[in-house]
Structure 1
Amino acid sequence: MQGEGPSRVSRREALLYIGAAAALPALAPRAARAQAEGAAAAPEASGDPRAFGPERHGLSAFGELKYPADFKHFDYVRPDAPKAGSFSQIAPTTSLNQSLTTFNTLNAYILKGDGAQGMGLTFDTLMARAQDEPDALYGLVAKSVAVSGDGLAYRFRLRPEARFHDGSKLTADDVKWSLETLKAKGHPLVSQAIRDLEAVEVEAPDVCILRLSPKRTRDLPLTLAALPIFSKAYYSKKSFDDATLEAPLGSGPYRVGRLAQGRLIEFDRVADYWAAALPVNVGQNNFERVRFEFFRDRDVGFEAFKARAYLFREEFTSRTWATGYDFPGVREGRVTRETLPDLTPSGGQGWFFNLRRKKFQDVRVRKALNLAFDFEWMNRNLMFDAYKRTSSVFQGAPEMMATGAPQGAELALLEPFRGKVADEVFGEPSVPPVTDGSGQDRKLLREAIGLLRDAGYTVKDGRAVNSDGEALTIEFLEFDNGLNKHVSKFISTLKVLGVEATIRLVDPAQYQQRTNNFDFDVVSQRLSMSDTPGEGLRQVYSSESATIPGSQNISGIADPAVDALIEKIVAAKSRDELNLACRALDRVLRSIRSWVPAWHKGSHTLAYWDAFGHPAEKPRFARGAPEVWWWDEDKAAKSGVKA
């Protein structure tokens, strides 16, 4: 989790490397026609809603594009950044089948196995993300796109120079095969996100048309444009859904280099990369090598950083950030510590109940367990007062977070659910209680005991048991020990309520398998949120996703009101509409109490051996490292760091 452990679910990387669907951006086809180059009137002028409008260079959720058709590079890059050196780190996030601590396959787009970090570096996509806009994409493999008047067809014109690493041409046939294969065999998060892709037509070797279902979500076109393109010829002799350590044929700026299963993987820059000079790539992909290191224990990982086994580290543990950086490299000025603002939504972070299990199905039980969590004590004693309490799944996006009692249009959205959702939805939104910081707030614990009693539990011999004599037990499932102190404190307070709780530490493969199959009581997760929520909300909170193995609906929420409000969000025609519906959804989700909210902070705390340069300002919606950083030979020499 943020601050005390790497993210379990990717944020912005999800768009670039196909991670969690919750972070995928959204697209409203009709709104997109209002953007540059007179696109708004063209489809309707023909009188045929199936006719294509003019070709344009980019797409966004509601038509906003910062960069014109003739832009040279993104504003946040150094266009003449040197191409040299290496960048190495431990995994900061996960997506799809990835693990933070190991890997056993280079296929990162299926459910099977533990996928290697960084595989998105080897594949190109139709369009590429601008990291200083909420959800805009610009041409990469596709030099342009035209949208039909009804918004149900997208014609992508490919660049004739697009190539795979073996020199073979990347064509519309490869796009068709890739999208159809991901829909049929890809990770459930991907296949579900693109289920309303009806057909891919090859109009010419350099032209493909994506046809969408009328019920398609606003997200779908941008999601499709950001998916990896695989070589149809390469996979004609191989099975796509195999977990394998054979490096696949790619077309991106890097190819797989040296690897040691479960320990490290390197990516080598492709010297003759076909798209290096395109505006979406200028000033990026600057390192000759990018390496990911894997450690089963985070303390061992930190010691490895101190010994220069890898050079860059985003610090997620507050105690280490406050007390651990006193080693010689820091004292001698060879290690730089830097705090960069994180202005993206931090999303929902905390401990998630598995509502599929009978013991968690009474909201009074979930409320009681929430009252036993003493954030104030933990923040002061374990985290150096570095964090703020999370209250919303839209944390960090104030325009999407519920405040006060619902009024006007927001109240109108909620009225159909009166009597079907908790009464509190129509009042002030639920917020976690503020404790007295003692570690055992007696007032809150008395309230929790009352809730458990109302739910049918009585304490006998120190154990909370129901009318059937069943004890209320909880197993916290983890794959590393980074949160042990926090969970142990939580467990000690739960014991006062008569709740028997334990920590189960399993290896990453078993953790992945158990969470994929919803075989757990409680897990810690960070479910990151897009700046333009849409289809991803279905993946995380809809009734449909609650039963899909590998789903991000980790709690198993299946609520008609939630489903209906998600549909309002994905159908929103403007940001104001979207934000309004998000606030309404926020109220309902808070009332369900499907999780124990944890903490957040609005910054990236970085440490690195001083061998890098980076732009004065990072991109608004991303960390920027390693994408726009570069190797600085002079700094490296002074710091005694070798590439």
Structure 2
Amino acid sequence: MPPCPQARLAPNSGPMRALILALCLLLAPAVAAETVHPVHGLAMHGAPKYGPGFKHFDYVNPEAPKGGEIRLAEIGGWDSLNPFIVKGDPPAGADLPFETLMVNSADEAFSEYGLIAESVEVPADRSWVIFNLRPKARWHDGKPITADDVVFSFEVLKAKGHPRYRFYYAAVDKVEKLAERRVRFAFKPGDNRELPLIVGQLPILPRHYWQGRDFAVTTLEPPLGSGPYKVAGFDTQHTITYERVKDYWGADLAVRKGEYNFDRIRYDSYRDTTVALEAFKAGEYDWRSENEAKKWATAYEDWTGLKDGRGRKNAFANQRPAGMQGYAFNLRRALFADIRVRRALGLAFDFEWTNKTLFYSQYKRTASYFANSELASLGLPSPLELKVLEPLRGQIPPEVFTAEFKPPATEGDGNIRPNLRAAMRLLEEAGWRVVDGKLVDGAGRPFAFEILLVQPAWERITLPFVRNLSRLGIEASVRTVDPAQYKNRIDHFDFDMVVHVWGQSQSPGNEQLGYWGSESADEAGGQNVAGIKNKAVDALIEQVISAPDRETLVARTRALDRVLLWNHYVIPQWHLGLDRLVWWDKFGMPDTVPASGVQVMTWWVKK
């Protein structure tokens, strides 16, 4: 547009001159578009720790030798090599052949750096993101990774992938190819600064490989990937071996330096944890993360590896959020609809006795969905928390405003009578009464339900809980099933109560929609195992997602935490804050353990 012509006005025509100037400004071109420069990485809030041109992450050994084999174990079998769909059960390590656009560091709250993407472009409002792909990024068949592959990956994962992808990427409005190695994602209106990083986690799949194949079905043909490993051989349900790709295109990248040092990674499948433990001590595999307190305390006393110095046993502190592990109610069952009933059942679980008697006092009681992190709620709500909680007053439990949530406690001596008396008062308020030793409702129907387990080790923990429930007149039964049946029943919400773990990161965001959002409650295979449908929870999730800075994110997450806790959706169990590891002493490891804990893929086989 040409410049506005100078009007010939009398010297005293100031008002008219001002009017013409205003009209000129309205007709002038819009202010120049924001200049966006490519960057090497993104942080959720602030700047990423590692600057442009960094050589490697601080928690790796960049000189780690390559070679050798690590043998690992998994519990239960597997029947599919497609880890991206709800059907089938993939083996451990099934994601090793695949890469994402960007990769997280293990020593920051939430930062990502370019992997398949060489650089990324994001405007100040983060309403879109452009990824510029590395020219040298290649599939295992030698073909280049292109923008077509990125577009295909997004579309096929949302259309045919596991339900979690539909929720995780729901805020993406459009993806388009701009050039052969340049792709743009546009986001729906809203204030979600996490979206560029969420899209950065997108697994990239080869469009040319999947043409003519049905993505939604299970397969035993190893899918084509681009990652540091590919499937070398397998025996379905029993074992699988991955071999390092010798000409892996990303080997020298800063984000991969010092990682994936093993030539081969082998996983053997075992029926249960007891069999797996004995196999480890016999030298059948090399490295083990011990999740059972009793085994950690007693099971390695007779291990010859520890006695003769050929083995190692150590606990490494971590700073990652422990999340929530607990007995989860299936809220789709009318039996658990009343909050007083859920609260009463929580009073029947004696953590202190369990920890002292069964766990050698190793654990801490979990009192937050974000335990072991600054995200956990403490004391009464802060002013920043109240800012998002006050509009929900009347829709959330009143205790959110007046009390700090603390799980019921005992003296640990087995005397749980005071808790059971409190539980019975709540059950009576909810319309239950004891008749001939059985708790029944107004229609005479007994209070009975099943606790579904996947490992026999959980029986010794759960049966004392069942005995306490029986003292209330509740008929609780325990059923342990194999991993395949367990997964099928969980995927289709065919259970009453189950032990479940919701893992958390240091920067919660979109994944909370899948965990507790109302829309995910009826999605088969989804992560909202409890079946939570609560508009106040939905509103708080949106507040967490739209948090503009770290301080606000922490406050809003704590507010969400309080509302989840006081609704008694689970009976909280315990957490540790340690990685308990045992291994045959054939490995070297970096000197630094990052906040996220031990990263076994930074270890190497000693020469």
Report whether the alignment pairs 1:628 with 2:599: no
Partner residue in 1 for 2:460: 485
Q: Which amino acid aligns with 1:207?
A: R
Report whether the alignment pairs 1:614 with 2:589: yes
Partner residue in 2 for 1:29: none
Q: Which amino acid aligns with 1:629?
A: W
Give the distance between the partners of 2:570 and 2:211, measured in 1 at CA: 45
Partner residue in 2 for 1:380: 356
Contact between 2:286 and 2:584, CA under 8 Å: does it hold in 1?
A: yes
Structure 1 residues 227-626: aligned runs within 5 Å: 227-325=202-300, 326-397=302-373, 399-625=374-600
Partner residue in 2 for 1:94: none
Report the 3-state secondary structure (helix = DSSP H, G, I; strand = E; otherwise coil) of the residue aligned with 2:405: coil
Structure 1 residues 9-408: aligned runs within 5 Å: 47=31, 53-91=36-74, 100-215=75-190, 217-325=192-300, 326-397=302-373, 399-408=374-383
Deviation for aligned residue 1:192: 1.5
Summarize the Cα distance change of 1:110–1:535 in structure 2 as closer, same or farther, 3 Å threshold: same
Q: Which amino acid aligns with 2:98?
A: F
Summarize the Cα distance change of 1:407–1:78 in structure 2 as closer, same or farther, 3 Å threshold: closer
Give the distance between the partners of 2:330 and 2:36, measured in 1 at CA: 47
Give the distance between the partners of 2:132 and 2:596, measured in 1 at CA: 28
Deviation for aligned residue 1:197: 1.9
Deviation for aligned residue 1:291: 1.5
Q: Deviations over 1:425-462 (max 9, x none)?
A: 11112211211213241111111111111111111122
Partner residue in 1 for 2:14: none
Report the 3-state secondary structure (helix = DSSP H, G, I; strand = E; otherwise coil) of the residue aligned with 1:265: strand
Partner residue in 1 for 2:18: none
Q: Which amino acid aligns with 1:283?
A: G
> For structure 1, which segment, 244-253 or 429-438, has the greater mean C-alpha deviation from structure 2 after superposition?
429-438
Deviation for aligned residue 1:198: 2.1
Give the distance between the partners of 1:376 and 1:440, measured in 2 at CA: 11
Give the distance between the partners of 2:258 and 2:387, measured in 1 at CA: 48
Give the distance between the partners of 1:48 and 1:468, measured in 2 at CA: 72
Deviation for aligned residue 1:52: 5.4
Q: Deviations over 1:317-375 (max 9, x none)?
A: 11111111022121111110011112100011111001111110111111110000001
Report the 3-state secondary structure (helix = DSSP H, G, I; strand = E; otherwise coil) of the residue aligned with 1:121: coil
Give the distance between the partners of 1:205 and 1:488, measured in 2 at CA: 60
Summarize the Cα distance change of 1:224–1:137 in structure 2 as closer, same or farther, 3 Å threshold: same
Q: Deviations over 1:73-99 (max 9, x none)?
A: 1111111100011112224xxxxxxxx
Summarize the Cα distance change of 1:46–1:316 in structure 2 as closer, same or farther, 3 Å threshold: farther
Q: Which amino acid aligns with 1:606?
A: L
Q: Structure 1: any 5+ residue segments left out of the alignment?
A: 1-44, 92-99, 634-643
Give the distance between the partners of 2:134 and 2:214, measured in 1 at CA: 28
Report the 3-state secondary structure (helix = DSSP H, G, I; strand = E; otherwise coil) of the residue aligned with 1:617: coil
Give the distance between the partners of 2:578 and 2:516, measured in 1 at CA: 27
Summarize the Cα distance change of 1:219–1:550 in structure 2 as closer, same or farther, 3 Å threshold: farther
> For structure 1, which segment, 586-595 or 146-155, has the greater mean C-alpha deviation from structure 2 after superposition?
146-155
Contact between 2:122 and 2:130, CA under 8 Å: does it hold in 1?
A: yes
Give the distance between the partners of 2:213 and 2:576, measured in 1 at CA: 45
Deviation for aligned residue 1:136: 0.8
> For structure 1, which segment, 379-388 or 540-549, has the greater mean C-alpha deviation from structure 2 after superposition?
540-549
Contact between 1:259 and 1:266, CA under 8 Å: does it hold in 2?
A: yes
Deviation for aligned residue 1:237: 2.4
Deviation for aligned residue 1:588: 1.0
Deviation for aligned residue 1:117: 1.6
Q: Deviations over 1:503-523 (max 9, x none)?
A: 111222221111111111001
Q: TM-score when scaled to structure 1?
A: 0.88
Give the distance between the partners of 1:410 and 1:121, measured in 2 at CA: 40
Q: Which amino acid aligns with 1:206?
A: R
Q: Deviations over 1:565-587 (max 9, x none)?
A: 11111110001111111121121
Report the 3-state secondary structure (helix = DSSP H, G, I; strand = E; otherwise coil) of the residue aligned with 2:96: helix
Partner residue in 2 for 1:24: none
Contact between 1:52 and 1:147, CA under 8 Å: does it hold in 2?
A: no
Contact between 2:515 and 2:529, CA under 8 Å: does it hold in 1?
A: yes
Q: Which amino acid aligns with 2:175?
A: V
> For structure 1, which segment, 548-557 or 357-366, has the greater mean C-alpha deviation from structure 2 after superposition?
548-557
Summarize the Cα distance change of 1:502–1:310 in structure 2 as closer, same or farther, 3 Å threshold: same
Partner residue in 2 for 1:6: none
> For structure 1, which segment, 184-193 or 218-227, has the greater mean C-alpha deviation from structure 2 after superposition?
218-227
Report the 3-state secondary structure (helix = DSSP H, G, I; strand = E; otherwise coil) of the residue aligned with 1:55: coil
Deviation for aligned residue 1:246: 0.6
Deviation for aligned residue 1:405: 2.3
- The structure 1 segments of at least 4 consecutive aligned residues displaced by more than 4 Å after TM superposition are none
Report the 3-state secondary structure (helix = DSSP H, G, I; strand = E; otherwise coil) of the residue aligned with 1:120: coil
CA RMSD of aligned residues (A): 1.5
Summarize the Cα distance change of 1:273–1:464 in structure 2 as closer, same or farther, 3 Å threshold: same
Contact between 2:126 and 2:193, CA under 8 Å: does it hold in 1?
A: no
Q: Structure 2: any 5+ residue segments left out of the alignment?
A: 1-28
Give the distance between the partners of 1:536 and 1:149, measured in 2 at CA: 23
Give the distance between the partners of 2:449 and 2:380, measured in 1 at CA: 34
Give the distance between the partners of 1:88 and 1:227, measured in 2 at CA: 28
Contact between 1:477 and 1:523, CA under 8 Å: does it hold in 2?
A: yes
Summarize the Cα distance change of 1:341–1:368 in structure 2 as closer, same or farther, 3 Å threshold: same
Give the distance between the partners of 2:172 and 2:391, measured in 1 at CA: 31
Deviation for aligned residue 1:216: 6.9
Give the distance between the partners of 1:559 and 1:421, measured in 2 at CA: 9
Give the distance between the partners of 1:48 and 1:186, measured in 2 at CA: 41
Deviation for aligned residue 1:403: 2.1
Contact between 2:77 and 2:270, CA under 8 Å: does it hold in 1?
A: yes
Give the distance between the partners of 1:322 and 1:180, measured in 2 at CA: 49
Deviation for aligned residue 1:218: 3.2
Give the distance between the partners of 1:299 and 1:387, measured in 2 at CA: 21
Give the distance between the partners of 2:399 and 2:581, measured in 1 at CA: 41
Report the 3-state secondary structure (helix = DSSP H, G, I; strand = E; otherwise coil) of the residue aligned with 1:482: helix
Q: Which amino acid aligns with 1:88?
A: R
Summarize the Cα distance change of 1:558–1:83 in structure 2 as closer, same or farther, 3 Å threshold: same
Q: Which amino acid aligns with 1:631?
A: V
Q: Deviations over 1:371-402 (max 9, x none)?
A: 000011111111100001001101111x3222
